[in-house]
Structure 1
């Protein structure tokens, strides 16, 4: 496997970022054992930053270490998707409760920003020509902005980690899928702007159930694990 040589500045973060992208893009196969010495040789670095990166990736659920055996790329199955979606729902609903405590001015500012983001994604983007990376960016930007308004960096990082796996399971969304997903974002914001809290909860649940279905369909079409 040909790999780019890593520069020494910010070495630990660079190694982590490179390995994370390799795992997310499935340069490593599902359940493949990761050889630390081989990676170190190919990247032109010592094993220490690789071990540190693997520790971080294991905390995010992307790899799993078996004592005295090695570290393996985690496969994603339907059970994992179910757990992730339920966890995301818990966070989203908690965040929504925080919105209810915001002052009028702060609420209006946040809601207006979400409104602008989702309107652009629906009206200004042609999903037929938008690269998959950009599609993923719009989805991540919306959910990140929704969560980040509460100012809890630990919850935000946890939520982003929960979303890492989606590119493993939906590698080529259709224009129909893009349009429906972005329209669901708009519905969440519409209910939020009206301060219809139950309506917002229902819209969030509908959106994540749609994601759940897309993910499980994709997994089933690939033999039950990706």
Structure 2
């Protein structure tokens, strides 16, 4: 981690068009999700505003948005801090994911069958990236996100998609910690291929079992990471 991630923020990231508050929100959210800020790191609105060359008002508004989504926490008379993700958080998030993803796979399975070419393309992108001597973790993470997004979108319910994506951002923050674990990356890809195999063969029950197993393995991996390295 960088000693002071705020020092890496540049006003160039904001551009000249669009709502300043929204742009600051997206810059800070991306940094949190990529773990450029450490859990419980203090965020100073004045310091961020100075680095971006803006007033404190849009920075405070952006921080309020992040607070409302649970990415940061504001403590009276102490300041604003990046939120950590703990064992109970992960268990609750993955219970939600399992409920949503299994429902969407069941109700939208015929759409998933039609989406097999897109699923295969994501798998191929993952395989190509991981074959590199120095693979890019963010590409692996994005491939994982795309696979699960396909599953959720198959149900054709925009409200479910919006709700799922909001909470799943927290999973991405945690997921970054096992991107250096090649064994888990390979296992995760094998699990994705097992889900795809079941979809290709039009076996909804098997696809559901493989998805449930994949989510359980991912949760267990993240919990082990917390217990061993105390990263959150």
Q: Does TM, scored on the shorter chain, surpass 0.5?
A: yes
Partner residue in 1 for 2:199: 192
Deviations 1:120-173 (A, max 9, x none): 534775164321111112111211222223333343233334233234432413
Q: Which residue is equivalent to 1:135?
A: 140
Measure the CA separation in 1 of the matches of 2:144 and 2:54: 35
Q: Over aligned residue pairs, what C-alpha RMSD do you find? A: 2.5
Q: Go from structure 1 to structure 2 and tell me whether the alpha carbon gap of 1:59 and 1:29 turns closer, same or farther (over 3 Å shift).
A: same
Q: CA, structure 1 residues 124+168, in 2 after alignment: closer, same or farther (shift >3 Å)? A: closer
Measure the CA separation in 2 of the matches of 1:38 and 1:209.
41
- Alpha-carbon distance between aligned partners in 1 of 2:127 and 2:48, rounded to the nearest angstrom: 42
Between 143-152 and 118-127, report the one with greater CA deviation: 118-127
- Counterparts of 1:55 and 1:212 in 2: how far apart (Å)? 29
Distance 1:207 1:189, change over 3 A: same
Q: Are positions 1:58 and 2:67 aligned together?
A: yes
What residue number does 2:225 align with?
218
* Worse-superposed segment, 185-194 or 200-209: 185-194
Distance 2:229 2:48 in 1: 28
Equivalent residue for 1:4, pick from 10, 32, 39: 10
Instruction: Name the count of aligned residue pairs.
Output: 220
Structure 1 counterpart of 2:49: 40
Match of 1:87 in 2: 96
5+ residue gaps, structure 1: none
For residues 164-209 of structure 1, give each alpha carbon's deviation from its aligned partner in whole angstroms, at most 9, with x where no partner exists: 32344324131x3222211111111222233322212210111111
2:34 maps to 1:25: yes
RCO higher in structure (CA 8 A, sep ≥6)? 1
Aligned to 1:65, the other structure's residue is in SS state strand
TM-score relative to the length of structure 1: 0.83
Q: Residues 221 and 184 from structure 1, CA distance in 2 versus in 1: closer, same or farther, beyond 3 angstroms?
A: same
Aligned residue number for residue 72 of structure 1: 81
Residue equivalent to 2:3: none
